[in-house]
Structure 1
Amino acid sequence: MKIKLLSTSLFLLITSVSFCQKISVSEINEKRSTSDNSFGNECEIELKISGDEVRKYKLVKISKITKAIDDQGIDLLNDDKNNDDYIKIDQTAKIKIETKIPARKAKTIKELSGEVSLYNPNQANGSEIKITDYQNKTNVNLLPKKSGLEIIYLTKESYAKYVKENKDKKEEELKKLPEAARQLAQGLVGAFEGLFSSDDTTDDNKIYFYVNGDKSKFVDLYFEDATGKKIERNGSMRSDALFTYYFDEKPNPSWKLVINIETDKSLKKIPFKLIDIELP
């Protein structure tokens, strides 16, 4: 296998200015391989977001890539390689995009367009919700109704109780329920019966949450101890609407649950369009 690694720095070469923010290409790394393995072929573009407003935000992510094309007309969009997770803003706000490999004859990426999101979670703007005594708040929506999102803490016992109370309700009875309650009943009943009937639930070091609604607004969920220190988890898993979080110890009732969601006041979206990005 023959691998050729090329790297270049293009600081402030090409910029997109919007809402007093400047987005520029700071670095491109391109790797090609004769192997059929896709991991041997990649083009990684690092973007830098600068401007005074950036310092008001804690996290950044690429919201979407709408166009990526080289000067040979090859479409470089690579949705499988780019996720929508936020990353922490340190001294500078930088984020990476991975595209498909440009044509060998290509000298530039003709256009790279999309949107960057800056995010600042706190209680004042409604994007950070802190909940005490969470273990006594099963089967209820933990978020404000206006959020457009439901997050519900589940245990094997609380789920069994909910199913028992709602599974045998006739369709006519469900229709009489308020819309939110009806959707919750339909979404929960039967949705996770296989999971909660398995022996896997004997593991006491994990917690289940049901997430319903606009899941794109759901950013993170974690716990703090009595001193406000974040409890580190050792993994998480998502299966449709069920989110599972794993810990090194059995979750403590004294822990405080912290949920981060996107709100209009916590978010700033910056569209960008970069033209004629020189390839290495």
Structure 2
Amino acid sequence: MKLAVLGLAALLAAAAPSKPSAIGVTSGDVTDRRRNDNTFAGLEVELKLTGEAAGEARGARATVEKAVDDTGRNLVKEGARPPEFEKPTGQGSPGLKLDLRNPARRAKSVREISGQVEVFLPDRDPAAVASADRFLSGMDRPIASPALKASHTEVTVVSRKTYDAEKKKDEERKKKEAESAGVAGAVVNAFSGLFEGLFGDIGENDVLVRVNDPGKKVFGVEVFDAAGKPIDNAGSMKVGDFWILKFTEKVPADASLRIYLMTAKAVVTAPFSLKDVALP
């Protein structure tokens, strides 16, 4: 009887549907710009993330390893830069696009596109999020966080007073170029790069965050209210060692800062392979 029960269990396990992959990829819109003069020529293929983890993704990027049209032409661009991580634009998953070479004139489909996607899922690793409650009260001091320490990352919210003081120093250095050549120090150099990279001034409501991130672990920085809801900002930009978060209204004193870190457990890599993608 025991053997019969074990045999039945094995049959049921074999018949059960396999669990869907955590991350999948399907093709979306295809933009075909075949031109003989190669001006703005190329092929753009949209990738859509699927699977149970797609909705959790705070960022993703895709790297193509093989792309061949139905005539056998290689569509992979040689020497292309590694892609940046894309972030969701709304409630959905990040939108990904592959930038490929011109297909052959007579090609009607891309026979194969394969590579890998990297998906940032911070909810899967507690060490992927560092938080600082009431961060405005601790400006000009590095944020104390086990997650930041483990990733060898230092994050400091810079006060307006410090920003104005460093900007004034920078203006004085520019008046004495010969002397400024001998100025040393990581903080001085970092602020100099900030001022040179800015188009205009930092607004009174903006949040300036200096990130010392030698391992390139920081994915993003966000501000949340006391209820744990993200505070809408008017955009953000990165200049050198600085993240600048733009706000139209003053950030509440009880707001918290969250720093997202790309830890090994929070970045999931999955292969993908698409077959016979039709060309328009």
Normalised by the size of structure 2, how large is the TM-score?
0.66
Are 1:138 and 2:140 an aligned pair? yes
Are 1:151 and 2:150 an aligned pair? no
Residue in 2 aligned with 1:250?
250
Change (3 A) 1:69 1:187: farther
Are 1:270 and 2:274 an aligned pair? no
Residue in 1 aligned with 2:16?
none
Whether the 8 Å contact between 1:42 and 1:101 is mirrored in structure 2 is yes
Alignment-mate amino acid for residue 137 of structure 1: M
Equivalence map 1:90-101=2 (5 Å): 95-101=96-102
Deviation above 6 Å: which 4+ runs of structure 1?
A: 33-37, 88-94
Question: C-alpha root-mean-square deviation of aligned residues, in Å?
Answer: 3.9
Whether the 8 Å contact between 1:82 and 1:97 is mirrored in structure 2 is no
Alignment-mate amino acid for residue 205 of structure 2: N
Residue in 2 aligned with 1:120?
121
Deviations 1:248-274 (A, max 9, x none): 112332211111111222221112344
> Does the residue aligned with 2:126 lie in a helix, a strand or coil?
coil
Cα distance in 2 for partners of 1:210, 1:201 equals: 16
Change (3 A) 1:258 1:92: closer
Higher strand share: 1
Residue in 2 aligned with 1:58?
57
Compare 266-275 and 74-83 and name the one that shifted more.
Answer: 74-83
Cα distance in 1 for partners of 2:215, 2:47 equals: 26
Residue in 1 aligned with 2:217?
217
> Does the residue aligned with 1:192 lie in a helix, a strand or coil?
helix
Change (3 A) 1:146 1:48: same
Equivalence map 1:65-76=2 (5 Å): 65-70=64-69, 71-76=71-76
Change (3 A) 1:102 1:124: closer
> Does the residue aligned with 1:43 lie in a helix, a strand or coil?
strand
Q: From the CA coordinates, give the structure whose radius of gyration is larger.
A: 2
Deviations 1:40-96 (A, max 9, x none): x553323344445x3683345124333434344343439579542233796788744
Whether the 8 Å contact between 1:48 and 1:95 is mirrored in structure 2 is yes
Compare 142-151 and 249-258 and name the one that shifted more.
Answer: 142-151
Cα distance in 1 for partners of 2:93, 2:134 equals: 37
Cα distance in 2 for partners of 1:266, 1:260 equals: 10
Structure 1: tracts of 5 or more residues without a match = 1-18, 165-184
Change (3 A) 1:153 1:26: same
Normalised by the size of structure 1, how large is the TM-score?
0.66
Residue in 1 aligned with 2:47?
47
Identity %: 25
